[in-house]
Amino acid sequence: MENDQKGAGVKFPPPLVYLFALGSAWIANIFIPLAFLPTVDCLYGALIVFCVGSVLALSAVIKLHFSRTSIEPWKPTSQIVDSGIFGFSRNPIYLSFNVLGIAAAIYDNNLWMLFSLIPATMIISTLVIAKEERYLQLKFGDQYADYCERVNRWWGRR
């Protein structure tokens, strides 16, 4: 792919979508509290889910670093990373954002936060993942198509 200087062409940091969604839900919960768990002490459950999300994110970041390819979707990708956590999810970082959002919702016992992950994920899927997939398909062709055949977008091997 010639003149590959912008990567997938994403113009904003994707974590901001999740931060905005969760922050808005937190504010909504101040005005209209909406709990989803019968207990107010959700620390241990939230901690477990937080650890899962953190491991997903950290393993993806480490794998990208050692593969010498960019984590930022506005920079060029040097190669398809299809091993490690990327052998189970084509989007482990975005998956981790959802898992971390679930952890925040459990910790705050806030159903609004849980609901806010739906539009956040839809925005990420439409404005980020779709652009990334088009870019990777154009740049890597059959290699990326083969990877998509083997690994699901969110989780699981085919």
pLDDT tens for each residue of 26-83? 999 999 999 877 666 778 889 999 999 999 999 999 999 999 998 888 888 999 999 9
Average pLDDT value over all residues in the chain: 91
Confidence of residue 12 (pLDDT cuts 50, 70, 90): confident
Q: Which of 17, 10, 31, 37 is nearest to 133 (CA)?
A: 10
> Contact 64/77 with Cβ under 8 angstroms?
no
pLDDT at 6: 66
Q: What is the pLDDT of residue 79?
A: 93
* pLDDT above 60 (res 2): no
Distance CA 158, CA 152 (A): 7
H or E stretch at 157: none
User: Nearest Cα to 59, choosing from 26, 81, 30, 41?
Assistant: 81
Q: Which residue pairs, CB below 8 angstroms and at least 24 apart, start in 119-122?
A: 119/21, 120/17, 120/18, 120/20, 120/21, 120/22, 121/94
Going by C-alpha positions, the residue among 79, 92, 66 that lies closest to residue 14 is 92
Please measure the distance between the N-terminal and C-terminal CA atoms of the chain and give it in whole angstroms.
Answer: 28
- Cβ contact 96:60 at 8 Å: yes
What does the pLDDT read at residue 73?
85
State percent of the chain over pLDDT 90: 75
Per-residue pLDDT at 158: 65
The CA distance from 89 to 62, in Å, is 15
